[in-house]
Amino acid sequence: MSSKLFVLSSVAGGGKSTLIRLVREKHPQIAFSVSCTTRPPRPGDEEGVTYFFLTPEAFERGIRENEFLEWAKVHDHYYGTPRKYVEECLAGGRSVIMDLDVQGAALLKGKLGNTVVTIFILPPSEEEWERRLRARGTDSEESIMKRIRNGKQELSRRNEFDHVILNDDLDRTLSQLESILLSSEKH
Ligand code: 5GP
């Protein structure tokens, strides 16, 4: 069994965080790469569990010292994958799930080829997606509008992914995701 890097991307409000939480609970043998970010914590965030929260200075030092496997600026904040944990998992034969934006997914696919399996979670419709984004109640209107603009660009790149899963029913979406994770793990 060879270890893989599974990259999950979506638009903000696409339902990806819920899916990742369920997969982490059900399949603890697959490691989860906790990213670093300079965005402020939101309700529900937990240091070291959802993200490592860094100052811009600390993040920029990490870039200079090559500590990130990849990094990107998303919605005005830095986000990056700590290199060491992912490399240790792969060396130990353990697969890793990563939650990345579309730029990070494309970059890693280009860099690591078939070691990376990219999966795009597609919201059921634009109306439903906007409704979910507003229902979170954690973002300002300005930030919601920015996420919608960025999201439309991200949606247009979904064909670059190895798999696209329509998230119209949580149970069905989860089982489709599990079948990709578990079948790819066996190869
Ligand atoms: P949020 O602030 O809503 O948690 O995440 C915003 C976006 O940043 C999401 O699209 C998420 O997938 C992406 N993201 C989170 N961590 C990383 C990372 O380490 N690298 C990249 N490229 N994107 C990330």
Write out the H or E segment, with its range, that includes residue 7.
strand 5-10
Q: Check if 95 has its Cβ closer than 6 Å to any atom of ligand 1.
A: no
C-alpha 100 to ligand 1 mean position (Å): 5
Mean pLDDT of the chain: 92
C-alpha 99 to ligand 1 mean position (Å): 6
**Atom 14 in ligand 1: residue holding the nearest Cα:** 100
Domains in the chain (CATH in brackets) are: 5-185 (3.40.50.300)
pLDDT digits (tens, 9 = 90+) for 51-88: 999 999 999 999 999 999 999 998 789 999 999 999 99
SS3 of residue 51 by DSSP:
strand
- Give this prediction's pTM: 0.92
**Atom 19 in ligand 1: residue holding the nearest Cα:** 80
Q: Is 17 annotated as a binding residue?
A: yes
Q: Is 49 annotated as a binding residue?
A: no
The answer to whether residue 162 scores a pLDDT higher than 70 is yes
Where helices occur in the chain by DSSP H, the ranges are 16-26, 56-64, 83-91, 102-112, 126-135, 141-155, 170-186
